[in-house]
Structure 1
Amino acid sequence: MTALLAPLVLDLDLTDEQFLQLCQKNHELKFERTASGELIIMAPTGGETGRRNVKLTTQLDLWNTRTNLGEVFDSSTGFKLPNGADRSPDAAWVKRSRWDALTPAQREKFVPLCPDFVVELMSPSDSLERTRQKMEEYRDNGARLGWLLHRKQRQVEIYRPNQSPEILDNPQSLSDEEVLPGFVLNLTLIW
């Protein structure tokens, strides 16, 4: 996914509602906004990345359907993080009690919380440094678990609170019983 980073200049200061409208009126693009107000515009993903992302999200959703422990979100979902950033991980999961605590109005807009679990699947045009910064931002804003998948290198970076990322080379599956009890991501479908 090609990301163009352009700071909001001129006298333009988008409210959350204006940012939401910008995203809705330009649905063919994906927007994110950093905590400092920089607007990130990303083109749609290519076929290989999109195909693999569906396999990832499907596995997570099938597990969640069985367990009913929370809610699963795809890459189109915007989250308003505590630091003010608006982010859209490739896949995300929110614990049931946190989702149920939101009002219906909060559920309709960008979700006003950081997911408990996030996944970013690197596409050929993604910047590794920028994606690592996003993973750290999720962790620093309350994500209990994050997986950064480097498809071409068959490598995973695992992000947990108050820890340096753990790096795994060529794992065939991933799991974390504390955050996602009983979930196993089959990476052979994604590599």
Structure 2
Amino acid sequence: MDAHVVAMDKLAFPRYLAGIDVASIKNPGVEAREARDKQLQLKSTGSGAERLAESSAALQRKAQLYERLARGEEDDEHEKYEVEFWRKGPSHQQEDQEQEWLRHGRQRQDPVDTSAAAVAGSGGMMTEDMARELQRRDWEEREAALMQQQEEEQQRKTAHRNAVKELSGLTQAGREAAAVAKAQREEQLASKRAV
């Protein structure tokens, strides 16, 4: 069995047995590409002020071109630019949407107000976490009220129990007094008969 395990290890790790270190092998040209990339990166990154000035100039050129195209001074008929500058604006976009709806045979409807369908009392602006928090607060209030009721009920029961004990004590004292009075009367009655 041990010979089988050794044979399996030799089959599973032939590079190790051959003395080949896979980690030391490098692909040809990787170092050259890395050096080229570093040079390009150094060339492309100038100082921050230079890059800011270049970006600002490019944005100004684009803004001027946009203004010329929007005024119609620049010819955009040959579809060099993919934006139809004469149609940009909210009114044109709304018209396009209406035409799209009509083309599909539907009419545009105002969206349904679903704020009432949201969590009640939230004005439609409540997340699930907020709803859970409100539920937790409601639960705490109900539990506090229930605990208050239970405490009041317990106090009422205790007061009733104390009143019953007091009444029972008074009743017992009254019975004892009645028994003593009865015994005295019987004794007096017996002494009168004996005389």
**After TM superposition, is the score higher than 0.5?**
no
TM-score grouping bracket, smaller chain normalisation: under 0.3
Greater relative contact order structure (CA < 8 Å, 6+ sep): 1
- Bigger share in helix: 2
Query: TM-score, with normalisation over the residues of structure 2?
Result: 0.16
The structure number with the bigger radius of gyration is 2
Query: TM-score, with normalisation over the residues of structure 1?
Result: 0.16
- Bigger share in strand: 1
